[in-house]
Amino acid sequence: MRLDGKATGAVYSILALKYAGPLTSSVAKVLLNTDWDKRIERNYYIWVVQSEEETIVIDCGVRPNLAEQRNLHGYVSPAELLRRVGIDAACVEHLVITHIHRDHVGGLELFPRAKVYIQRKEFDFWTLDPIAMRPSFAQESDPVAVQGLGALRGSERLVLIDGDQEILPGIKLLLTPGHTPALQSVAVTTAKGLAILTSDCAHVHRTFEMDMPSSMICDLPEWMRSLAKLRELVNGNLDMLFPGHDVGMRLNYPEVAEDVTKLM
């Protein structure tokens, strides 16, 4: 894969599937210490990356019983959303987990056959490090999903990634820590060039413009380096960077099914 986005054979489309939202919070939640008195909406997504040969699901949302327990507004099971675009979650072969927060890994049980790709450092932190059980980290965790991930250790279904790595032609995982110890973004070769699903390296698109993270950062200097890396890879074309929770992914792109939009 060429990180200048020029074709190397495989070319992919990208779908954003909104599984919950909108939820409203202070702007300061998604743009650190900015506009405490103003409100902003955010959505919750998984993504599908498809070529003629491959289907890759990026993140797996929240499992239905946890969504019910937390009264997650506008929730639709990720499995149902995938059905709307002709994909059976139980048959998905490739599942990329960007990071181990409950809204990105909680639906793991919906993908029983998938090979799971995750950064080794992220996996080891959440499954082995006692600090992950301290309140500031645990409040963003889903113990059921973490236990399910841990059970995959040593199996053929778990692929632990160390740094930047191409996993399929035209799909490269990028180590972009800061929000969590080893969050990974996903670089995708598309017909329009290189696009990057940044997950929660940025919660909203304004982050790329303002150089301002969310309030949920475990390592601010690392986050700053990650953001600079992403900007450089798209040669400053911020329209090719897609954040984790921006409502614009639902509102500003063509709808291909209910709650599903085509980004690329």
Q: Determine phi and psi for 218, rounding to 5 degrees.
A: -95, -15
Q: In the chain, which residues have pLDDT < 50?
A: 5, 7
**Residue-level pLDDT at 124:** 98
Q: Is the Cβ–Cβ distance between 200 and 183 less than 8 Å?
A: yes
Residue ranges with strand state E in the chain: 13-26, 39-50, 55-58, 94-96, 115-119, 158-161, 165-168, 171-175, 184-190, 193-199, 241-243, 255-257, 260-262
**Residue-level pLDDT at 237:** 97
**Residue-level pLDDT at 92:** 98
- Residue spans of the domains in the chain: they are 13-262
**Residue-level pLDDT at 3:** 55
Give the pair of three-digit tokens for residue 190.
Answer: 């598309």
**Residue-level pLDDT at 253:** 98
**Residue-level pLDDT at 5:** 47
**Residue-level pLDDT at 245:** 98
CATH number of 13-262: 3.60.15.10
